[in-house]
Every structure is written in C-alpha cells, then in structure tokens.
C-alpha cells in the first residue's frame, strides 16, 4: 500500500474555521479538506435540508417530459416504466411506477432479461411495449446510447422519455425528452445524480404540478438512498441531502419491501455502508440470478406477508450468487496465475461457462487482488459479454473508447463499464486494451493507495471527537470516512490472530503518553509478526465503536500497518 497524506490546509484557514465554528483544529482541518470553508457551508454539511434541493425544471427537457406524461394520463394511454436490472435500475422503476400508480392505473413495468436481452433498452422490450398498446415509455438508468432502439420504438408509434445519468455519446437518441445532467448543454447544477436520483427529479417536477411539496415525496427517498449507495456515486451536494433523508426513511418508516429485507437481516440501525453491503446485494441478486422483475415486485409490494415471501426468495438468490461468485473468482484467479505474464498493465479473463450475473463482482475481486484495470468475459448468446472495473484514478471508459473498433457496444462510468464483442475479436481486443492502458496509465496507480486525512496522537481520540465524526456521515465517494495515521504505536501484549484461519488482527495499542485503545484489522492477520513482542509500528486507521455485552468503547479500525 502507498500511504499518501492529503495536503494540510493552511494554519490560518484552520484557525479561522475553528474559531467560527467553535471546534478544535482537527475538526476544522477535516472540514476544510471536504471543501467546507465557513459557517454556512458547515451548516449545510451537518444539517442537510430538503429546501436546498435544486429545482427539477433546471434539467434540460424536464418541461417536455412532464407535459408528455400529463398528456398520456389525460388521454388514458398505456405507460411502460422501463429500467435496468441492477439496483439503480430496479429502484428507479419501483419509484416511478409506484408514484404514477398512486393516481393512474395504466402503468406497467419492464426490466430486461440480463441473459436474453442484455443491458439497457432492448428491441424485445420495444416489441413488448408495442404488443401491449403502450404509447409512452419512461426509461430509467438507461437509454442515453440506445439510438437504434429508441428509433425502432418511434417507428412503432411509441414515444420514449430517457432518464439517465451515464455519459452521452456524440449522437443522442430520438426521444421526446432526455433527462441526463451529464449532457453538455444541460444547465442542471449538480451532475452526479444516479439513475434513481434523475427519476426522483422527474417525480418532484410532476408532483409540483399537482401541488405536492418536497415533504410529500420523502417516503420515496428510501429507494433513492439505496440507489446512491449501490451505484457508488459521490455523496456530495444534492446526493448527500437525498442520502441523508433517505437513510432516515430506511431507519424509521421504510416501504414494506425494504422492511421485509431488514426483517431478514435483523439489524437495528442501518448506515450507508450497511445499505451497500447488506441491502443492495440482495436487490441485485434478483437480476443476477433470476430476473430483475423480482426486485421490482418486492419494492412495490404493499402487503407485508407477501413482501416477506419475496424477501425469502431473494435471500435464496443471494446465497446462490455468493457461492457462484466465490467459485468463479477462484477460477479467474487461477487463470491469471497460469497465464502470468511479466509487467502486464491489465487483467483480462474469459470462460464461456461463467455466469453473467456474477462477472461484475468477480471483476471487482480481481481488481482488489491484482490492482489492475480488469475485464471478466463470458459467453452471452453468440457474443462475448464483459464487466470492466478500474483502479483509483484511471478512467476505464476512456480506455474502452480507445478500443471501440473491436467492440460491438459499451457503456458505463470512469470506474465501471460493460461491453459486448464478437468472439473472434477477443484476442485483438485483449491486446489493444493492454496497449491503450500501458500507454496511458500512471504506473503509480497500479499500487493501491491509502489516502490519509491527518496525523493523530492517540490522546486526541475522545468520545467527543467520535460524536462529531459520526455527524460527517453519510460517507461515500467525495466524503469518505476520515482516515488517520499514528506513529510509534506498541501493542500492550494482547495481539493475536482472530476469525477463520486467524485472518484478522486484534490488538490493544498504546503510544507514549497515552493509555491503551483496542484495535481490529480485518484481513491483516498476516501482519501479526510486525506488532508482536511490543515492536514499534505505524498504523493507518479509521475510528470505530465496538459494542460488547451492552457497553460501547472506541477502537481503531486498522487499514494498514508498517
């Protein structure tokens, strides 16, 4: 691991902010690193307000989208709410469908089959719409690159509204309205909404025409917060407000479907991290293992007993997903080891039998292990389909653009993308991808980096500091959990390996002039020799609370030691 300490704000700025907010220097330091320079910005950060959400009509084409939906309702047209099969897509569909169905019955939902149709708007989906006399499709979390499919729908007399957050290509689909803050000429001030966030802006605009306030729409924010967490979008600006209030809904009055999921996992209060690692994988498992429509059914269900049955079904999909994920990861790691070539800048693996539903997770696991831009391919019909994952600081979408002559189609973000290509193009693509990455990546990016906010003495760690740090949440890209570094630590004699195969490290550490504090290092069991026998060491950690037998104590959550 590369340890990088973030630049320290000037002492003058720290003094000014700590005085203005009446906080100590460390808190002022952390706030300045997050771009918070004065009382007003701090108030907005610590006390998000719904009133600070932007006017939805600032999104380009919002007026057109709202008018077309109102026209459809007035003319009693059939509306199809269409979304992708991942968490962002299924929550978007659940949000839009349940909002419209409150006042209008002619609304159906459609999620493409991951295996038969693939990602995004499909020709089969457009045929389904035509066969069912649909004249308006609202496509969520997809569609910005579906040029041919939207034209095909148009030829069948179907209008399409595209609500997306992925990067547009040079040509836009022939839709009635395109809501995507990443369009270059879109004046919307916040560009990082997820697909469900764009969907929420649309219901906010529709609701405002019906005299509904933002408070009336708060019950939908459990879905938006789930999508923000799962899609790993920055938790800054508007996303922070949506995530903050969405988490409140999840923890106090979630929709029946989310309640049924929480009931399965028996956890009292959920953080954004719990949503990422507990709720999201279960919703995702439906689209990975069976069909995304199962997730929509769960998230729109209003009867708790039925929702519990759906949640149990989804739990079994998730168990199946976990074992497949493990099996595939092991096979992919073996393939990399067997074909180990010196100085490769990428990891690209392929097996025609791998399950398409887990290749994205496997790509993430390989990236964690080898820390290279990674692609995992499997067979999908008569083509190959892949999930791509990147390392911090490298834009994999741009790299794929550099190989576009051997790709059938692709889409995604800086750190995650999906693509399809013809089998005969695989070897050519593999070589070209390696070449593009080798020529454009900074070699430093191939070593994982721990970004450290500040250096800390153990005696600075107090319950008061912990109370303030908890208010920095929700955490995520753009507002990560504060990470600290401490030097000259010593174990007090209790260090040991814990857990299965002793793969975790548990210790109690002290520093000159400060008493002991507990420490836990997940997956750091192999570093036990560095801390045994009271050898001095440095550590990178975040602060955590350890609950044991009803009492709560502070502990270091170790990230790395040396």
Q: Note whether residue 39 is domain-resident.
A: no
Q: What is the pLDDT of residue 118?
A: 80
pLDDT average, residue stretch 197-204? 98
Instruction: Indicate whether 165 and 308 sit together in one domain.
Output: yes
Least confident segment among 76-85, 180-189, 491-500: 491-500
Instruction: Indicate whether 471 and 357 sit together in one domain.
Output: no
Q: Note whether residue 49 is domain-resident.
A: no
Q: What is the pLDDT of residue 549?
A: 83
Last residue of a domain, one of 446, 466, 501: 446
Residues 509-534: tens digit of each pLDDT:
999 878 799 999 999 999 999 999 88
Percent of the chain with pLDDT over 70: 100
Secondary structure of residue 136 in the 3-state scheme: strand
Instruction: Indicate whether 142 and 191 sit together in one domain.
Output: yes
Q: Which residues constitute the domain of residue 352? A: 339-446
Instruction: Indicate whether 236 and 343 sit together in one domain.
Output: no
Q: Note whether residue 176 is domain-resident.
A: yes
Question: pLDDT-derived band of residue 219, with 50, 70 and 90 as boundaries?
Answer: very high
Side by side, the strands of the sheet bearing 159-163 are 107-110, 78-83, 134-140, 159-163, 177-179
CA angle 508, 509, 512 (to 5 degrees): 150
Instruction: Indicate whether 198 and 290 sit together in one domain.
Output: yes
Question: pLDDT-derived band of residue 341, with 50, 70 and 90 as boundaries?
Answer: low
The CATH number of whichever domain residue 399 belongs to comes to 3.10.310.30
Q: Note whether residue 36 is domain-resident.
A: no
SS3 sequence, 188-249? Answer: CCCCCCCHHHHHHHHHHHHHHHCCCCCHHHHHHHHHHHHHHHHCCCCCCHHHHHHHHHHHHH
Last residue of a domain, one of 410, 427, 446: 446
The CATH number of whichever domain residue 551 belongs to comes to 2.40.50.460
pTM here is 0.89
Q: What is the pLDDT of residue 342?
A: 63
Residues 26-56: tens digit of each pLDDT:
999 999 999 999 999 999 999 999 999 999 9
Instruction: Indicate whether 504 and 392 sit together in one domain.
Output: no
Instruction: Indicate whether 344 and 301 sit together in one domain.
Output: no
β-pairing, 383-389 vs 416-422, is antiparallel
DSSP string, 440-466: H--GGGGS-EEEE-EE--GGG--HHHH
Residues 126-183: tens digit of each pLDDT:
999 999 999 999 999 999 999 999 999 999 999 999 999 998 989 999 999 999 999 9
Q: Note whether residue 122 is domain-resident.
A: yes
Q: Provide the token pair at 445.
A: 């990016």
Taking the C-alpha atoms of residue 280 and residue 231, their distance in angstroms, rounded to an integer, is 9
Q: What is the mean pLDDT of the chain?
A: 94
Q: Note whether residue 35 is domain-resident.
A: no
Q: Is the pLDDT of residue 376 over 90?
A: yes
Instruction: Indicate whether 241 and 104 sit together in one domain.
Output: yes
Q: What is the pLDDT of residue 98?
A: 97
Q: Is the pLDDT of residue 489 over 80?
A: yes
Element (H, E) at 411: strand 409-412
pLDDT average, residue stretch 230-237? 89
Question: Helices (H) and strands (E) in the chain — how many of each?
Answer: 20, 19
Q: Is the pLDDT of residue 266 over 80?
A: no
Least confident segment among 188-192, 194-198, 263-267, 393-397: 263-267
Q: What is the pLDDT of residue 413?
A: 80
Closest CA to 95 of 248, 242, 311, 303: 242
Instruction: Indicate whether 194 and 141 sit together in one domain.
Output: yes
Q: Note whether residue 2 is domain-resident.
A: no
Taking the C-alpha atoms of residue 531 and residue 493, their distance in angstroms, rounded to an integer, is 9
Element (H, E) at 25: helix 25-33
Instruction: Indicate whether 301 and 400 sit together in one domain.
Output: no
**Residue whose structure tokens are 């070897």:** 427
Last residue of a domain, one of 446, 475, 502: 446
Instruction: Indicate whether 377 and 477 sit together in one domain.
Output: no
Q: Note whether residue 139 is domain-resident.
A: yes
pLDDT average, residue stretch 375-404? 94
Residues 450-487: tens digit of each pLDDT:
999 999 999 999 999 999 999 999 998 889 999 999 99
pLDDT average, residue stretch 278-285? 92
Instruction: Indicate whether 506 and 546 sit together in one domain.
Output: yes
Tally of domains in the chain: 3
Percent of the chain with pLDDT over 90: 85
């Amino acid at each position: 691991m590369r340890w990088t300490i973030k630049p320290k704000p000037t002492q003058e700025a720290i003094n000014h902010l700590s005085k203005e907010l009446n906080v100590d220097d460390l808190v002022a330091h952390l706030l300045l690193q997050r771009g918070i320079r004065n009382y007003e910005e701090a108030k907005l950060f610590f006390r998000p307000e719904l009133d600070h959400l932007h006017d939805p009509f600032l999104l380009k084409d919002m007026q057109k989208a709202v008018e077309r939906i109102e026209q459809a309702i007035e003319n009693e047209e059939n509306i199809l709410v269409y979304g992708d099969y991942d968490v962002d897509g299924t929550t978007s569909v659940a949000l839009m469908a349940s909002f419209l169905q409150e006042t209008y019955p002619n609304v159906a939902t459609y999620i493409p089959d991951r295996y038969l149709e693939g990602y995004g708007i499909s020709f089969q989906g457009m045929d389904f719409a035509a066969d069912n006399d649909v004249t308006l499709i609202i496509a969520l979390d997809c569609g910005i690159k579906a040029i041919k499919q939207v034209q095909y729908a148009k030829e069948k007399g179907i209008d399409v509204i595209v609500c997306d957050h992925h990067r547009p290509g040079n040509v836009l689909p022939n839709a009635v309205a395109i809501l995507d803050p990443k369009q270059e000429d879109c004046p919307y001030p916040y560009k990082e909404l997820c697909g469900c966030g764009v969907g929420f802006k649309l219901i906010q605009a529709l609701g405002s025409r019906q005299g509904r306030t933002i408070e009336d729409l708060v019950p939908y924010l459990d879905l938006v917060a789930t999508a923000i967490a799962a899609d790993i979008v920055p938790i800054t600006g508007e996303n922070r407000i949506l995530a903050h209030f969405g988490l409140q809904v999840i923890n106090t009055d979630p929709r029946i479907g989310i309640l049924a999921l929480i009931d399965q996992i028996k956890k009292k209060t959920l953080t954004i991290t719990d949503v990422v690692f507990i709720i999201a994988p279960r919703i995702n498992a439906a689209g990975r293992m069976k069909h995304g429509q199962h997730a929509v059914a769960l998230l729109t269900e209003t009867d708790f007993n039925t929702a519990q049955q759906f949640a149990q079904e989804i739990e079994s999909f998730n168990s199946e997903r976990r074992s497949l994920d493990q099996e595939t990861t092991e096979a992919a790691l073996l393939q990399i080891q067997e074909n180990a070539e010196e100085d490769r800048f990428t990891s690209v693996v392929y097996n025609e039998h791998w399950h398409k539903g887990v290749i994205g997770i496997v790509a993430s696991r390989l990236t964690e292990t080898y820390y290279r831009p990674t692609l995992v391919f499997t067979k999908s019909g008569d083509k190959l389909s892949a999930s791509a994952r990147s390392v911090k600081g490298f834009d994999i979408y741009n790299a794929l653009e550099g190989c576009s002559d051997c790709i059938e189609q692709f889409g995604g973000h800086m750190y995650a993308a999906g693509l399809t290509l013809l089998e005969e193009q695989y070897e050519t693509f593999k070589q070209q991808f390696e070449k593009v990455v080798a020529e454009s990546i900074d070699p430093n990016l191939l070593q994982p980096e721990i970004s450290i906010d500040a250096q800390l003495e153990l005696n600075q760690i107090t319950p008061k500091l912990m109370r303030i740090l908890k208010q920095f949440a929700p955490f995520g890209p753009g507002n990560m959990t504060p990470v600290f570094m401490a030097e000259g630590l010593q174990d007090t004699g209790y260090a040991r390996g814990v857990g299965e195969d002793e793969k975790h490290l548990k210790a109690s550490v002290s520093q000159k002039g400060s008493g002991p504090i507990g420490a836990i290092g997940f997956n750091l069991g192999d570093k036990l020799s560095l801390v045994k026998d009271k050898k001095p060491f440095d550590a990178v950690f975040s602060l955590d609370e350890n609950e044991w037998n009803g009492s709560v104590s502070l502990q270091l959550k170790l990230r790395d030691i040396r």
